[in-house]
Structure 1
């Protein structure tokens, strides 16, 4: 006599549901969801809107008028845009000095010496103060009448220099002011990275006779690639959004010589010079594409290096 096997109707009821079966996938997605929503709403959508507005002539209030590529054509003959673009390239090149500067300060502060906590506090200080304060401090520092820079120059017999009033020096003066906190930020990134360096590799390299620059280049720097990538990205972004320092220290002067793309975009789109939202959006698109090219190139370089290993 055979007995028919009845289906276990309680197996599905007692088994884990779909959410429980996929909780390892759902949990991180739920944590990422709020940040992703904010990123899409406040980063991705404004970028797409900037591309869209750049094809219109619009004062921000009336009805937009579609003009196609007219705003971009005007940029090609705009002398102020050319000066701003050239100044941005100066910022990009010179601002990258913050990365090796932060690295060497971090290597110094990573040692165990007397009073190292005081040194760390002094080097960390520029990072915690706002860009507005940095701009005011360096404005006083460069002042041709009572500034510390000219006081020191007069002490060694050199005539005072009006750094922020000289069109050939003003941009470099503002860049130096920006480098002060940026070096501190890169220093913090590298100090964090140095804590993750494998001591066994360091010891093995010492046994093989590596020291000094050879140790740094072949053993330490390869382990600092993540910190270098972050330092590179934030430095590029900092160089391209140098609006606050210029606004505080020179307001684009003298004679527009310190304008950068972000400041010129503000002047065209939102200041008393015209409220040309479409033209300002076109400048913003150019700024975004420059940033994208630099970051994409560095990402590609890092991917190629990792693939090579």
Structure 2
């Protein structure tokens, strides 16, 4: 009992201003010096950790989100890269020109609409994403079934993703070479070719999609493999007891449980498709891959740097940003709804 009384004396009094020591003296409480509200504010984790998160937060806010905001503002001007932008006369002319074409007030030359580049962008995204997901799922199932040298195969499949777009483009530029490329050598062995994949307008976009599928199918495989490893073995056993074949078991039981993994991989892959400018620039050697392979990213850079239409290039950049946001925002919202953010 005496120990209990001594412990009570060591705590602060009810008014939070003084505490009684065991020797009979008093000690001024910290709340009397700083006040309860100030004490709670200073001891909050967000305040105490401010030296660590505040500088990068300000830098990202200025150079990322600030740059995005300035780019949006620039898209409403007629800035051509010379002088200072005129922010006093903002209008939607660039967006109208982007979707309808015509001769803008800031140029004497007619400007084509972006529909061709937008169509190529959508085709690349759909074909690239669908093939990556299907191939990644098949590879994940094969690896998950306990094949020999699993770790080796997993590393080999994932290795292309560690390469940059520039390295991948140069590699496939060699592979597609009509005279010395491995693909045309193999086609020639069966009596086909040579096929000028990067020279043929009908095959340019397909060649880009195939190279990107080679690079990112390993990423889809890893995402699916991680999801497959979380499915209880009882699900597999129950399907086998019911007499389901291997194909039917995966199609009816396993694949429906991979919905979250599919959405996650799809978001990343489609965003990479929107960012394929450096791949096309490296493969075709400039801003103009040709109408059959021109995407919004190459059109944006060509308008800004080659044609000196900076405001129009900013307009295309805003459209690209909206497309990326339309892909990412629903995914983030669904993650938030499930309590995973």
**Shorter-chain-normalised TM-score: which range?**
0.7 to 0.9
Question: Is residue 44 from structure 1 mapped to residue 65 from structure 2 by the alignment?
Answer: yes
- Mapped to 2, the partners of 1:162 and 1:70 lie a distance apart of 40
Go from structure 1 to structure 2 and tell me whether the alpha carbon gap of 1:166 and 1:7 turns closer, same or farther (over 3 Å shift): closer
TM-score normalised to structure 1 length = 0.82
2:317 to 278, 284, 287: 284
C-alpha distance in 2 between matches for 1:13 and 1:51: 54
Offset at residue 153 of structure 1 (A): 1.5
Q: Tell me, in whole angstroms, the C-alpha distance in 2 between the residues paired with 1:182 and 1:7.
A: 64
Which has the bigger relative contact order, CA under 8 A and spacing at least 6? 1
CA deviations on 1:6-45 (whole Å, 9 max, x unpaired) are 856336927895159755x778999766665455334332
The within-5 A match list for 1:1-309 is 7=15, 9-10=17-18, 13=29, 17-18=39-40, 23=45, 36-37=57-58, 39-65=60-86, 66-75=89-98, 76-77=100-101, 78-79=111-112, 81-96=114-129, 97-210=131-244, 212-250=246-284, 251-253=286-288, 255-270=290-305, 273-296=306-329
Map Cα deviations across residues 215-244 of structure 1 (whole Å, 9 max, x no partner).
434543454343322211111111111101
Is the CA contact 1:80–1:256 (under 8 Å) kept in the aligned structure 2? no
Q: CA deviation at 1:213?
A: 4.2
- Encode CA deviations 1:246-289: one digit per residue, 9 max, x unaligned: 0011135554432211111111112xx33221100000111112
CA gap of 1:73–1:209, structure 2 versus 1, over 3 A, is same
Give structure 2 stretches of 5+ with no counterpart. 1-12, 20-27, 102-110
Output the CA distance in 1 between the equivalents of 2:325 and 2:114.
19
Deviates more, 1:101-110 or 1:137-146: 101-110
Does structure 1 retain, via aligned residues, the 8 Å contact 2:170–2:283? yes
Question: Which is helix-richer, 1 or 2?
Answer: 1
Specify every segment of 5 or more residues in structure 1 that has no aligned partner in the other structure, as ranges: none
Equivalenced residue count is: 299
- Coordinate RMSD, CA, aligned: 3.3
